[in-house]
Amino acid sequence: MWAKLYDNFKRIDLACPKCGSEKTVKVPLELFNGGGFGIIKIQVPIGGVCETHNFMVLLNKEGAILGYETFDMMASKASEAKEIAESPKDLKLQEQKEPPKSILQSYVNTYGFNCIVGYLHSKLFDYPAYLICRDEIDISLDDMEKDFNALIPQEYRNSHVMEIITYDPEIYPRPGYFFALAKNKYNDAFIINPNWHVIHVPWKININYEKVMLKNALEWNEPQNHFRKLSEFIERFIADIKTTVSFLEKVKKVKEKDLINILNKENPLSTFNKSRLRLIREFISKRITPEIAAKIVI
Ligand SMILES: [Zn+2]
Euclidean distance between CA atoms 179 and 199, whole angstroms: 8
pLDDT at 97: 61
pLDDT at 128: 95
The angle at the Cα of 237, spanning 248 to 298, to the nearest 5 degrees, equals 45
52 Cα to the center of ligand 1, angstroms? 5
pLDDT, one tens digit per residue, over 60-86 is 888 888 899 887 655 555 555 555 555
218 Cα to the center of ligand 1, angstroms? 12
Of the CA atoms within 13 Å of residue 103, those in its CB half-sphere come to 12
pLDDT at 30: 83
pLDDT at 3: 47
113 Cα to the center of ligand 1, angstroms? 9
Segments of the chain scoring below 70 in pLDDT: 1-7, 35-37, 72-98
For 174-182, which contacts have Cβ atoms below 8 Å and span 24 or more sequence positions? Answer: 175/66, 176/60, 176/64, 176/66, 178/132, 179/132, 182/130, 182/132
- Residue 284's closest CA among 248, 235, 253, 230? 248
- Residue 128's closest CA among 171, 173, 183? 183
244 within 8 A of 284, measured Cβ to Cβ:
yes
240 Cα to the center of ligand 1, angstroms? 29
pLDDT at 74: 57
252 within 8 A of 295, measured Cβ to Cβ:
yes
The angle at the Cα of 105, spanning 195 to 238, to the nearest 5 degrees, equals 105
Euclidean distance between CA atoms 257 and 261, whole angstroms: 7
